[in-house]
Structure 1
């Protein structure tokens, strides 16, 4: 009975020691076996592995591509138009031994701080270089700028055991204090363009109105000319008819003309006349109604 009581704790201890000596590295990881803080083994292949229990420890590192979003920073291109830029980077741990020696026990958080300290100065240096303006940064040419930032950051990150795969500018904007001035300048520019458009429209409208007035004058003059011609032709035809009628019966024509003169002279609003009694005007107003 005492032997069984002794064997059970021993078996439990043996199982615990065995379990503490076994560790598994999966395909997404690489591992370092440390003994009193010193690197004893680098494990880069997935599978089951062993360590000395209670003396050695295992530190795992992600073997996948990692991402880092940098904090927004302010840059000043060559045209002195300040911009706020934030970027993101893709990187991976390529040398776990070098990474451990450079970063220490800080692990990924410390590595990201060091990597951000590399990225931000490179972003400022590339975007603030001669010939790089805000328009360049905001245009399709920014792709070449990102390639330059990636190449420079990759060279500086190698001592950390990191490989910078890509750096991208995520957002580019104006500082808050510059937005109002920029909006005011844009508003003034749009108002100037609107004023120019209105002025050109008024000029075009005046040209159209002047052309229309000229056309009206020309049409009215032409119509009046044609009316005068028609009126003259009508008067000539009337006179011709009168002449023909007078030629056929001069006495009747003269009588008709006298009656017409009486009608016009003795209208209601002009019925009083002062004229000599023996005037020829009363030729047909005699008692007999016949010329003497």
Structure 2
């Protein structure tokens, strides 16, 4: 075989190889759950998020980096693999604002929001996210009381950690979005401390119960005293009104008697004396004596009324 023929065959083989590289590296597909970044001589270009078949310049001019659009979970303080949980107690041990030690781990839900920044703004974005989570959690726990961390303050702690972590990720410009932060376990470091804390919690609950009972009794006593006060006040107002009305009636009666007195002083005076005697001695027979010593019997009205025959309602009687 001549040298010329060898060169021809070698060139043809190289052309076939080059054509194959061009054909196989000039197209790519993007799945529904992926997003792609085009690299031109290693420089990031546009981000492709539409699924389907796409074309580009052949390798090594352009290449493609594919990243998932799914939501990722970062497990801080533990690692779960094949149903087995491995704890990282050194990561979860932290001190609270009131100088108590707790163990806290959590899960961070995150996703890639900017593939270009995620690929090139950090060499190890996942490690930086883990460290940022640790810093945010320790900062929030360090400013919280142990009661809040162990009981009813978990939701508030989760919100503060999420805000702090999102702020750090934005500062580092990692191209990551924080979706949610969920505390998994917040517990005391050993059994002795847990027991002591439980005793303190029980004592506090007992104290709160006693305080609530005392407040209930106090409110009941106040309400009863208020009701009694209102009743006394109402009765006093009623007595006041009755006395005023009685006084007004007495004044009106006095004025009426005074008018009669001005007209007939002696008669009015005698009549008042007789009426007073009737009130003081209702069952007595009254006699009126004149100055000459002779007597004249004063016939009481009531006995006379008793002797008068009663007339029936139909109007019948003795003619």
Report the TM-score, using the length of structure 2 for normalisation.
0.50
Partner of 2:87: none
Give the aligned length: 180
Partner of 2:140: 126
Alpha-carbon distance in structure 1 between the residues aligned to 2:153 and 2:27: 53
38, 49, 63: which one aligns with 1:33: 38
104, 115, 119: which one aligns with 2:129: 115
Alpha-carbon distance in structure 2 between the residues aligned to 1:186 and 1:150: 29
5, 22, 26: which one aligns with 1:21: 26
Measured at CA, do residues 124 and 27 of structure 1 come closer, stay the same or move farther in structure 2, by a change above 3 Å?
same
Q: Runs of 5+ in structure 1 lacking a partner? A: 105-109, 191-292
The C-alpha deviation readout for 1:46-87, integer Å capped at 9, x for no partner, is 121122222222111111111100124222122322001111
Alpha-carbon distance in structure 2 between the residues aligned to 1:84 and 1:171: 8
Alpha-carbon distance in structure 2 between the residues aligned to 1:188 and 1:146: 25
Bigger radius of gyration: 1
Equivalences for 1:1-292 in 2 at 5 Å? 13-51=18-56, 52-71=58-77, 72-104=91-123, 110-129=124-143, 132-158=144-170, 159-176=173-190, 179-183=191-195
Measured at CA, do residues 9 and 37 of structure 1 come closer, stay the same or move farther in structure 2, by a change above 3 Å?
closer
Alpha-carbon distance in structure 2 between the residues aligned to 1:122 and 1:128: 10
> Is 72-81 or 62-71 further displaced after alignment?
72-81
For the residue of structure 2 that corresponds to 1:80, the secondary structure is: coil
Alpha-carbon distance in structure 2 between the residues aligned to 1:6 and 1:95: 44
Report the TM-score, using the length of structure 1 for normalisation.
0.54
The C-alpha deviation readout for 1:229-279, integer Å capped at 9, x for no partner, is xxxxxxxxxxxxxxxxxxxxxxxxxxxxxxxxxxxxxxxxxxxxxxxxxxx
Q: Runs of 5+ in structure 2 lacking a partner? A: 78-90, 203-319
For the residue of structure 2 that corresponds to 1:113, the secondary structure is: helix
Measured at CA, do residues 55 and 189 of structure 1 come closer, stay the same or move farther in structure 2, by a change above 3 Å?
closer
Measured at CA, do residues 44 and 12 of structure 1 come closer, stay the same or move farther in structure 2, by a change above 3 Å?
same
The C-alpha deviation readout for 1:177-203, integer Å capped at 9, x for no partner, is xx335447868999xxxxxxxxxxxxx
Measured at CA, do residues 83 and 56 of structure 1 come closer, stay the same or move farther in structure 2, by a change above 3 Å?
same
More helix by share: 1
Shift, 1:35, TM fit: 2.5
Contact 2:21 2:59 in 1 (8 A): no
Alpha-carbon distance in structure 2 between the residues aligned to 1:118 and 1:97: 20
Measured at CA, do residues 43 and 187 of structure 1 come closer, stay the same or move farther in structure 2, by a change above 3 Å?
closer
Alpha-carbon distance in structure 2 between the residues aligned to 1:184 and 1:141: 20
Contact 2:150 2:187 in 1 (8 A): no
Contact 2:39 2:45 in 1 (8 A): yes
Measured at CA, do residues 173 and 6 of structure 1 come closer, stay the same or move farther in structure 2, by a change above 3 Å?
same
Contact 2:37 2:66 in 1 (8 A): yes
